[in-house]
């Protein structure tokens, strides 16, 4: 009985950790898109609407993609720390290439 409860709590902790990672990815990508929008010559109200749409889409995608990321991590036996490191390295490389 206690093993079943421990397993259930472990699954919840893993899912919460993956949701946190997905929020991290979503927010970092939203910041990039919003900074690109700020440098454009559109009207201010259009920028605000697009920013709100990006924010809402980030929240919705974060929740919906969590189970797919969890399945990916379990299938390929990847720990969450290496996923964070891989994302940060990929993000930095792409940012450097875009800013050139």
Kindly report, residue by residue over 6-15, the tens digit of the pLDDT. 777 887 888 8
50 — pLDDT class (breaks 50, 70, 90): confident
Can you tell me the mean pLDDT for 29-49? 83
Report the first-to-last Cα separation within the chain, whole angstroms: 58
Q: Where are the domains of the chain?
A: 2-99
* CA-based nearest residue to 80, from 20, 9, 3, 33: 20
Kindly report, residue by residue over 59-84, the tens digit of the pLDDT. 888 888 988 999 999 999 999 999 99
**Mean of the per-residue pLDDT values of the chain:** 86
Q: What is the pTM of this model?
A: 0.82
- Write out the chain in H/E/C secondary structure: CHHHHHHHHHHHHHHHHHHHHHHHHHHHHHHHHHHHHHCCCCCHHHHHHHHHHHHHHHHHHHHHHHHHHHHHHHHHCCCHHHHHHHHHHHHHHHHHHHHC
């Amino acid at each position: 009985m206690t093993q079943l409860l421990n397993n259930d709590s472990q699954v919840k902790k893993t899912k919460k950790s993956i949701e946190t990672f997905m929020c991290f990815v979503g927010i970092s990508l939203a910041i990039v898109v919003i900074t690109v929008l700020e440098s454009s010559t559109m009207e201010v109200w259009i920028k605000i609407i697009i920013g709100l749409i990006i924010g809402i889409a980030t929240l919705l995608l974060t929740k919906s993609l969590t189970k797919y990321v969890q399945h990916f991590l379990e299938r390929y036996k990847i720990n969450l720390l290496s996923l964070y490191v891989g994302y940060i390295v990929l993000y930095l490389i792409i940012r450097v290439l875009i800013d050139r």
